[in-house]
Structure 1
Amino acid sequence: MTEPTIIRPYGDTTGDGMVQVSFTLPLPADARAEAAARQLAGKMGIDPAMVVHTRQLGESHTFFVVYGRVNHLVDLAQVQVREREYPLLNPKEINTEVKRLLRRRLSVVGACIGTDAHTVGIDAILNLKGVAGEKGLEYYRELKVSNLGAQVTVDELVSSARAEAADAVLVSQVVTQRDAHLRNVRELAAAFRDSFPERSRPLLVAGGPRFDEEMAGELGVDRIFGRGTTPAEVASYLVFAVAQRKAAA
């Protein structure tokens, strides 16, 4: 069966264009709030818009779930996805490559910077227990891992990277209010540019559920990983990037 190139959302039947969205309005739960929710949904292109769920949040806010039809189409020919540019290696292959490339352990320093206290992501990548049955980078014999935890300042991270002779610095950012994750990563990149010569600067890798993987260049880092990234993907990238650096030296 040939895959269609133009698709519409699926709700109750194929191609019916039905979608469900949720949002909160700063209004108490009453008839006016529901009307406001329908108006907002209509401006999103949902027509007809049906409020299927409401819940008052405190005294002055209401959460809504709205269901309805949109006329927008998705052209799969125009959908762009970043493909992995490096092979996915298993732990044995990664250890072998690190020994071949460096003849020493590859030093990795990781942290959550700024006021971000959410370490679930960085712990899933770095800690031995890993995530979803896959071991973290501490499991790899040829990787030396230093997990600094949460609320680490950029200056502290720079100092730790220098003390550990880091080959790579991994930063996790979950808090995204007012684009804090973007601001923090730009600050990180600037600090490492100022503190290290280009040839000896550690690889800078940022990750988090709200990052766009295409923004690495704009933010000044070498790689961005998004939601669902596994430890093996990160470790394989580090080996790939180290090999590229050595080839260019």
Structure 2
Amino acid sequence: MSGPIIRPYGDTTGDGMVQLSFTLPVPHDKLAEGAAVQLANKMGMDPALVVHAKAMGPDFTFFVVYGRVAHLVDLDKVEVLERDYPLLSPKEANLVIRKGLRRRLVVVGACIGNDAHTVGIDAILNVKGFAGEKGLEYYRELKVVNLGAQVAVPELVTRAKQERADAVLVSQVVTQREAHLLGAKEMAAAFRESYDEEHRPLLVVGGPRFHESMAPDLGVDRVFSRGTTPGEVASYLVHALVSQRKGVLVHAS
């Protein structure tokens, strides 16, 4: 039996209306707006209406186009990566680490390469945290080393060895020319070359343009995408580094 079939919602239920934004390398004029409509039509929007157009310098125009699509979504065929570990409170996570490791769990974090956007890594690591949750520095049984922005991969590997890191967290926000993917792959390759697999730290990357399913292709252990909270990251680290490896039973509240 097939699952529910849905259509996009705009003004009324099931009307198929969607809104799309993009930039074309043309000056802002009537020809540019016609080009935007043509592109939207080729993408399946019919009719398509330019509801916003703004010049981005002399040679580019940014558009917002609104229109109807005929495409349907079968919810039974949507693929998602479900969380496979329990969410723990800071108290629960500290207890599992203390019981399983009998020492503090060491986490080294950084933005690598030319990436200077520390908002993401700071939201996960700093005490102030994100979305109402305290960052990893708040956890008594975690030792957090935040290296900040524009850290070279060799420097990250060296520091991870010095700190005897259990896990390395890398945030990548810059995505031009697939910089986030290339950076993650370079980081993963460097750690796998510098460590034997048994002693390699857990490799975790995150950023708004990543998808959880990318981990195998990037060579890392876990990928976190937009909206990830510190509690989710802390719970994963405890699950992967303590519960699974040490056989500690976890009871989440």
TM-score (norm 1): 0.96
Matches of 2:196 and 2:28, distance apart in 1:
58
174-183 or 144-153, which moves further after superposition? 174-183
CA shift digits 1:174-196 (9 cap, x unpaired) = 01111111111111111111111
**Matches of residues 50-129 of structure 1 in structure 2 within 5 Å?**
50-129=49-128
Cα deviation for residue 244 of structure 1 reads: 1.8
CA shift digits 1:177-234 (9 cap, x unpaired) = 1111111111111111111111111000000011010111111111000000000100
Matches of 1:168 and 1:146, distance apart in 2:
11
Aligned to 1:146: 145
1:245 matched to 2:245? The reply is: yes
Matches of 1:181 and 1:57, distance apart in 2:
25
2:76 is paired with a residue of what secondary structure? helix
Aligned to 1:41: 40
Aligned-partner residue type, residue 163 of structure 1: Q
Matches of 2:186 and 2:246, distance apart in 1:
27
Give the 4+ runs in structure 1 shifted more than 3 A: none
Aligned to 1:15: 14
Matches of 2:120 and 2:29, distance apart in 1:
39
CA shift digits 1:114-165 (9 cap, x unpaired) = 1000000000000011012210000000000000000001100001100000
CA shift digits 1:76-109 (9 cap, x unpaired) = 0001111110000000000000011110000000
Aligned-partner residue type, residue 185 of structure 2: R
Aligned-partner residue type, residue 244 of structure 2: Q
Matches of 1:64 and 1:194, distance apart in 2:
45
Matches of 1:189 and 1:63, distance apart in 2:
36
Count matched residues.
244
Long gaps (5+) in structure 1: none
1:199 is paired with a residue of what secondary structure? coil
Matches of 2:27 and 2:188, distance apart in 1:
44
Cα deviation for residue 65 of structure 1 reads: 1.0
2:45 is paired with a residue of what secondary structure? coil
Aligned-partner residue type, residue 100 of structure 1: K
Matches of 1:235 and 1:55, distance apart in 2:
43
TM-score (norm 2): 0.95
Aligned-partner residue type, residue 233 of structure 1: E
Matches of 2:35 and 2:179, distance apart in 1:
30
Aligned to 1:134: 133
Matches of 2:218 and 2:28, distance apart in 1:
41
Matches of 2:59 and 2:205, distance apart in 1:
37
Matches of 1:216 and 1:30, distance apart in 2:
43
1:58 is paired with a residue of what secondary structure? coil
Q: Please, what is the CA RMSD of the aligned residues?
A: 0.9
1:198 is paired with a residue of what secondary structure? coil
Matches of 1:36 and 1:57, distance apart in 2:
16
Aligned to 1:160: 159
1:200 is paired with a residue of what secondary structure? coil
Aligned-partner residue type, residue 206 of structure 2: G
Matches of 2:108 and 2:131, distance apart in 1:
22
